[in-house]
Amino acid sequence: MGQLRLEKLDIGYGGQPLIRQIDLAFLQGKMTCILGSNGAGKTTLLKTIARIIEPIGGRMTLGGEEIHRMSSLRYAREVSAVLTNRVELENSTGWDVVAMGRNPHTGFFGTLGEEDRRRVQESLEACDAWGLRDQIFAKMSDGQKQKILIARGLCQSTPVLLLDEPTSHLDIFYKMEVLKTLRTQCVQEGKTVICTLHEPDLAIKCCDQLVLVKGDQIIACGETGQVVQSGAMEQLYGFSSGGFDPVLGLAEFPAGSGKDVFFAGADEGTLSLFRQLVRMQKGFAAGVLHQNDLLWRIGQAMQVPMVGQQAYLPVSAEQAQQAFSLAARYDVIVAANLPDSPLVAENLQLIRRLEEAGKTVFRTEEFRRRLAEKE
Amino acid sequence: MRQTDIGKKSRIAAALALLLLAVLTVFAIGIGSVYLPPQTVLRVLFGQADPASPEYIIVWNMRLSRVIASMFGGAALSLSGLLLQILFQNPIADPYILGISSGARLAVGIMLLGGVLAGFSVTNPWILFLGALAGALAVMVVMLLFSARVRSVTTLLIVGMMVGYFCSALVGLLVAFSDDNSIADFTRWTMGSFGLMTWPKIYVLVSVSSALFVVAFLMGKNLNALRMGEAYAKTMGVNTKALRIGIILVSGLLTAVVTAFAGLVSFIGMSVPHICRMLLKTDDSRALIPSCVVCGGIFGVGCDLISRTVIAPNELAIGTVTAYVGVPIVLYLLMKKNKHE
């Protein structure tokens, strides 16, 4: 077992490079996610590493040894793959499919020994799929099939596990289940997991290393936190100004451009109002918010004009004045239910001033009811 | 169902199937224009009859060769069908549908009639077999070239059927141009029949197909991996290129050795693997290969028996019977399968 490295690798089909000059070292015993838009070549990269297709140029090494010099059987004991290819087996049970993973380890006739059976059981259990062992694979749901296919990959007992879009077509519950299983494999079994995902938020949550593919090249590669900070995520998905929060991995619909509502301060009810107004394509602004507030991040992704203060510092009179001038341009004010705390004393002052200025001011709860009545 | 249970179940099924094959064989030898009761057949087979007796002559000179031919022919076509279904990842593939049988028949037809026209006759069964092999492999190469370009399996099957029709049309021309009494057997052969067997042909059929049954069985583990699809098979360390060539050679040889001597025999290659999969409820090639051989034998002997008895003293082409038996079975299986999905 050793590190998987790609050096100056060109990959693609029929001599036509899809991604050029890939230089990558996958972190050992960690989980790496390859992110990229549709058709970017993520699957091609994975299939090249799995030796399903030949690279066009460059080198792939595992523990310093050139991969294409290794026999396919030996490589199958080092690297296993879970693909998106349809598996058409009409009579095989969950157990039968998982047991296929023992193929590179069994003898000439493929008879399973005691050790093989133990591995099959362990793999089924690791994927929480022991209950599926006697069910017919063809009749399982997508989520159950995926669990079985991942168990088959684990059953191959390889230090490296490749997975092509292991979460697509699954509901959020199964997505989390699948990723939890993979995390466990990394943390407890020390496996190197390399997968492609379509969900940046999940990738940020569960992968240690990110590889971003855009156009015909790798635009970023590194430890998840660093890649997120670098701004490459926004570039990857083409969110030039807002719309996407790389730290949360969340994409938000933008707010409207009207001057409909101003939120003076924020409380627990504010976020759902943000979302409701976005759905109604209304324009709104807010202030003064603390920048460690989740609302601040989401508001930014929604491209909402906001006045902000650093975390844990009291709102200053200057910021309150800024918020006041911003609020003046909006039709309706929604006043947050704020505690009597020095941190937001200026926000309370702001609400009073807006009322005195003759603005229509609603409390959060009141405004929510009015919106509900209107709809 | 876990593997251990399948192993046990398929052993019981195998024992039953072998018993059925043995009983059917004895009856098939006994049934004909002169009926021989089973005990007489067994007595003759185990050498306890006078070689000059009519029973002896009927069994050894007339019936036995035909029963053996239909048994091994059925088995060979079934196994060829199973292998092609795995290769093309399609349950409807078989040597007849893909035009491979037709290609083999065309090659043999050209050899036989070319010989008649040139004034010599090809009688060496090995040469007939090699001719059929050339035809079968030629069609397979065409099909593989298509399959590299055409992703859709349905299109591929249609291409196979077209190749088959084309080869059949050429055979039709051959028959039309050589309307002669000396080729009465040739016409019977093109229609498909196990009734044209001689012992030298049987030796070739039995030796070649038996060897291939073993070779196919030895490929069992890798065939299983290929059932998951070519990409998965590669990640499991299978040399898929070599395996594909192996499958092509074995199924081509199996088809050729039957077609060379029995002409076009349809539907066995498609129906028998289906029946075996349904009965055994498994995708495991290591169980399906032997069961296809045994069930194919039963199917072949049974269909041949029907073809020569229902309108006796005349005979039906074997394809007529296999279609009557095979088409409903395939339709039933397909309907049943669709109901599940």
Per-residue pLDDT tens over the stretch B85-98: 998 887 778 898 88
Residues of chain A with C-beta less than 8 angstroms from the C-beta of B234:
50-52, 72
Chain B residues within 8 A of A156 when measuring between CB atoms = 236
Smallest Cα distance from B288 to chain A, Å = 12
Does B148 lie at the interface with A, CB-CB under 8 angstroms? no
A77 with B237: Cβ contact below 8 A: yes
Whether residue A319 sits in one domain with residue A192? no
pLDDT at B1 over 50: no
Q: Report how many domains make up chain A.
A: 2
Q: Which long-range contacts (CB under 8 A, 24 or more apart) does A350-354 make?
A: A350/A264, A350/A265, A350/A287, A350/A288, A350/A320, A350/A323, A350/A324, A351/A264, A351/A265, A353/A324, A354/A264, A354/A324, A354/A327
Cross-strand bridge partners of residue A286? A263, A306
| pLDDT for residue B4 is more than 60 | no
The partner residue sitting opposite A103, judged by closest CB among B2, B236, B239, is: B236
Task: Please tell me the least confidently modeled range out of A51-55, B326-330, B335-339.
Answer: B335-339
Give the residue on B whose Cα is nearest the Cα of A74: B237
Q: Report the alpha-carbon distance of residue A266 to residue A288 in Å, rounded.
A: 8
**Domain-ending residue, one of A207, A241, A275:** A241
The reply to whether A235 and A267 lie within a common domain is no
CA pair distance A330, A336, nearest whole angstrom:
16
Cα within 13 Å of Cα(A299), Cβ side: 27
B237 at A interface, C-beta within 8 A: yes
% of chain B with per-residue pLDDT over 90: 35
Instruction: Say whether the peptide bond before residue A17 is cis (omega within 30 degrees of 0).
Output: no
Evaluate whether A165 touches A113 at the Cβ level (below 8 Å): no
Do A295 and A236 reside in the same domain of the chain? no
Residues from chain A contacting residue B224 (CB–CB below 8 Å): 100, 103, 110
Is residue A107, in this structure, part of any structural domain at all? yes
A275: domain CATH number? Answer: 3.40.50
Q: Give me the helix-helix angle, B285-309 and B220-227, nearest 10°.
A: 100
First to last CA, chain B: 20
**Within-domain flag for A67:** yes
Query: Cβ contact (<8 Å) for A133 and B2?
Result: yes
Spatial contact of A70 and A61, defined as CB atoms under 8 Å apart? no
Q: For residue B337, what pLDDT is reported? A: 58
Q: How far is B4 from chain A (nearest CA, A)?
A: 9
- Assign A169 a pLDDT band (cuts: 50, 70, 90): confident
The predicted structure's pLDDT at residue B10:
67
Closest-CA residue to B128 (of B257, B306, B292):
B257
Q: Is residue A255 part of a domain?
A: no
Answer whether residue A96 shows pLDDT above 90.
yes
CA angle A191, A196, A198 (to 5 degrees): 135
ipTM above 0.95, yes or no: no
Q: What is the pLDDT of residue B341?
A: 45
CB contact under 8 A, A112 and B3: yes
Query: Mind telling me how many Å the CA of B93 is from chain A's nearest CA?
Result: 15
Asked if residue A102 is part of any domain, the answer here is yes
State whether B277 and A91 contact (CB < 8 Å): yes
Q: How far apart are CA B186 and CA A112, in angstroms?
A: 51
Instruction: Among A68, A79, A93, A164, pick the best mutation site for testing chain B contact (most B Cβ within 10 A).
Output: A93
Asked if the structure places residue A250 within a domain, the reply is: no
For the cut 50, the answer to whether the pLDDT of residue B251 exceeds it is yes
Mean pLDDT score across all residues of chain A: 92
Using the predicted structure, report yes or no on whether residue A154 has a pLDDT greater than 90: yes
Tell me the CA distances in angstroms from A266 to A161, A294, A364, one per residue in order.
Answer: 45, 11, 9
Chain A to chain B Cβ contacts (< 8 Å): 98
**Domain boundary assignment for chain B:** 3-340
Quote the pLDDT of residue A352. Answer: 95
B62: left (phi over 0), alpha (psi -120 to 50) or beta: alpha
Q: Which domain holds residue A154?
A: 4-241
Indicate the residue type of A261.
Answer: V
State mean pLDDT over A233-256: 83
Where is the domain boundary, A211, A241, A271? A241
Inter-chain CB proximity B235 and A89 less than 8 Å: no
- CATH top-level class of B3-340: mainly alpha
Query: Between chains, do B234 and A88 touch, taking CB under 8 Å as contact?
Result: no
pLDDT(A127) > 60: yes
H or E stretch covering A362: strand A360-363
A252 part of a folded domain = no
CATH no. for residue A170? 3.40.50.300
Across chain B, mean pLDDT equals: 85
Strand order in the sheet with A79-82: A79-82, A160-163, A192-196, A31-36, A209-214, A217-223
- Residue A278's pLDDT is 93
Contacts A90 to B, Cβ<8 Å:
91, 277, 283, 337
For residue A20, give the H/E element and its range.
strand A16-25
Is residue A87 located within the same domain as residue A169?
Answer: yes
Tokens 């970023």 belong to which residue? A220
Angle between helices A172-189 and A114-126 (to 10 degrees): 130
pLDDT over 70 (residue B6) = no
B8 pLDDT more than 80: no
The β-bridge relationship of strands A31-36 and A79-82 is unpaired
Distance from CA of A124 to the nearest CA of B (A): 13
Beta carbons of A320 and A262 less than 8 angstroms apart: no
CB-neighbour burial class of residue A234 (10 A; exposed 0-12, middle 13-18, buried 19+): middle
The residue-averaged pLDDT of A170-181 equals: 90
A220 and A337, same domain (yes or no): no
DSSP string, B238-255: --HHHHHHHHHHHHHHHH
How confident is the model over B248-264, as a mean pLDDT?
Answer: 91
On chain A, the residues whose CB falls within 8 A of the CB of B291 are none
Mean pLDDT across the stretch A186-191?
Answer: 93
How far is Cα B332 from Cα B338, in angstroms, rounded to an integer?
A: 10
Cis (ω within 30 of 0) for the bond into A98? no
Q: What does the pLDDT read at residue A171?
A: 87
Q: Look-up: residue for tokens 């195998």? A: B14
